[in-house]
Amino acid sequence: MTERTLTRADLAEAVYEQVGLSRNESSDLVEQTLDEIMNALISGDHVKLSSFGSFAIREKGERIGRNPKTGVEVPISPRKVLVFRASHVLKDRIAKGK
């Protein structure tokens, strides 16, 4: 399996080739879509992309952690984290390699 990173430019190029918009319009469409997803997550909404998965923000409370090197306990402050849950359709397609 080769490791390759899919970029915004790759997405815009795919839209250009498959939809037929100009390169600038394709790039703008990708940017607007990603901005819409980010803004929804920032405002605390869940984002569900059918047959792909869902994104949500989860609040993690304060807890005590430990420095693995020294063993000293340190408090870890509360924070928000992004979580992604893949759909069963995506999981099945990954498992089949298609």
pLDDT digits (tens, 9 = 90+) for 31-87: 999 999 999 999 999 999 999 999 999 999 999 999 999 999 999 999 999 999 999
**Rounded-to-5 percentages of helix, strand, coil across the chain:** 40, 30, 30
Supply the pTM of this predicted model.
0.78
First-to-last CA distance in the chain?
13
Query: Once rounded to an integer, what is the mean pLDDT over residues 23-34?
Result: 96
Q: Which two tokens stand for residue 24?
A: 């600038």
Q: What stretch of H or E contains 56?
A: strand 53-60
Confidence of residue 1 (pLDDT cuts 50, 70, 90): low
